[in-house]
Amino acid sequence: MGFKVLIKDLSNNKEWVKELNQPIFFIGRVSSNEISLNSPKVSSRHARVMVRGDKVTIEDLKSTNGILFNNAKIDRSADLSFGDSFQIGDFVITIVSEDFKTDAPQKEEEDVEFKFDPFAYVRPFLAPINDFLEDASISEIMINGHDKIYIERKGKIEKTDRKFASEKALVAAVKNIARALGKEVSEVSPRLDARLDDGSRVAAVIPPCALTGTYVSIRKFSKKALTLQDLINFGAITQDAIDFIELCILMKQNVIVSGGTGSGKTTLLNVLSSLIPDGERIIVIEDTAELQLQKEHILRMEAKPADKKGRGEVTIRDLLHSTLRMRPDRIVIGEIRGGEAFDLLQAMNTGHGGSMSTIHSNSPFDTLSRLENTTLQSGIQLPLKAIREQISSAINIIVHTKRFEDGSRKVNFISEVLDLKPDMSYNLQHIYVFERTGKDESGKVLGHLKFTGNVPTFLDEAKKAGFIKKGSFLDTIK
């Protein structure tokens, strides 16, 4: 529900209005506040306002000059109703419903210089680690109980000395974050899976399911998605290998990116899907939207959990069913975790070649057994041989990533899935393998993603189709 904030500057009698629709917002001098009031009498972060229905709670964030309400300075916080005015510096502020009629102009955006703060909802509840949210060098914040807070910086995990006041305070913080994001966390439903406005991912589990304290993990969304060139510069992949994967994509091979937790799967899928030729109709399905594909013809869908009463769940599998009726040229599924595996394999086998996804696994072979396990979870009653045949014909290429002990993430296998062996076991040929040569004095893992000499089965066809540039590395493979 939206509302309006009427602002009158008593120093020049100017009035303006700002429409907002978030339940919590900030007033202060600097532009990161939703209502920024450029005056020395206003503190940089002066007040926090919470709107619930037509009730308004205003809280003084230890400002220098305070907030006036009913001609008195408020003591920390005050409860108001729509239509009540309060004063900060020379500004009289009134919050009214969205259908309130006013002639006051909307303040020009460049005038207000409004800066979007993706953490506005959660910031008030994460005081001990607020600066970690700001710090772009920190990619993940992991809270393993109120006094055990870890961060990941440049790929390395460090313990910090930060603490929440108590376990109770941390549980309260998680419940408040959930509430601010429109979700509910309680002892009955002790899990939170949510995404902040900038795409950062928050996952939390509170007791009784978390056994040694409350667990929270915040995977920060890097403002600038890593690009293909970044990955090459980091030594995560080589241009040759990218050329090869690009060829696979042109040849409509189905590609699975696999690897351990946090090994860079989603990042790589994002980069690789940018190699899909322009003009193709791509449908992206995710549990929690993370991919940032810069493509023209793209449809993005996000699964939806059940509400408090268990109604309205929409799974990846459901969305995949809808997708198949929407003429996709390519289907990109953020991560295969459950029931959707079998449907995706079928789609890949029946004319939706060139699709992509990721799965959690420890090696290229393990990727295939993980797919097998998730397919079995789909409740499919098929003999194992039939399932394995489906998998080996649906999946063409596995790009396997690894997080090394120095914190770097690298592609360490690119493998082609061949037909099953006579004994029904999976058959892989590695096309690229990361050959580790050692470590430098700073502990950095050294090595090179090397072509193995194994010739991909579709190379001849690719040459005939004219997909291989003359004189390129791929052209030299016989």
345 interface partner picked from ligand ATP, Mg ion, none, CB below 5 to 8 A per type: none
* 117 versus 287: smaller Cβ distance to Mg ion: 287
Cis bond upstream, residue 128 (ω within 30): no
Q: How far is CA 296 from CA 274, 348, 390, 448, in A?
A: 11, 23, 32, 34
* 267 versus 396: smaller Cβ distance to ligand ATP: 267
Least distance to Mg ion, CB of residue 287, Å: 10
Least distance to Mg ion, CB of residue 398, Å: 16
Residue for token digits 């409509």?
Answer: 252
Q: Is 292 exposed, middle or buried (0-12, 13-18, 19+ CB in 10 A)?
A: middle
* Beta bridge pairs of residue 232: none
* 179 versus 403: smaller Cβ distance to ligand ATP: 403
Least distance to Mg ion, CB of residue 335, Å: 6
Residue 111, sorted as left (phi over 0), alpha (psi -120 to 50) or beta, turns out to be alpha
Residue 154, sorted as left (phi over 0), alpha (psi -120 to 50) or beta, turns out to be left
* Beta bridge pairs of residue 162: none
222 interface partner picked from ligand ATP, Mg ion, none, CB below 5 to 8 A per type: ligand ATP
264 interface partner picked from ligand ATP, Mg ion, none, CB below 5 to 8 A per type: ligand ATP
Least distance to ligand ATP, CB of residue 403, Å: 8
Binding residues for ligand ATP, rule: CB under 6 A, are 139, 155, 222, 226, 231, 234, 236, 259, 261-267, 409
Residue nearest to ligand ATP (CB): 264
185-193, 202-210, 264-272, 273-281 -> range binding Mg ion (CB under 5 A): 264-272
Query: In degrees to the nearest 10, what's the CA dihedral of 428, 430, 431, 433?
Result: 160
Question: Of 139, 254, 263, 266, which lies in the binding site for Mg ion, with binding defined by CB under 5 A?
Answer: 266
Interacting residues of 118 by C-beta distance below 8 A, sequence separation 6+: 196, 197, 198, 200
Closest by Cα among 448, 447, 417, 445 to 431 = 417
139 lies in the site for Mg ion, by CB under 5 A: no
Within positions 303 to 342, which residues make up the interface with Mg ion, using CB under 5 A?
none
261 interface partner picked from Mg ion, ligand ATP, none, CB below 5 to 8 A per type: ligand ATP
* 267 versus 378: smaller Cβ distance to ligand ATP: 267
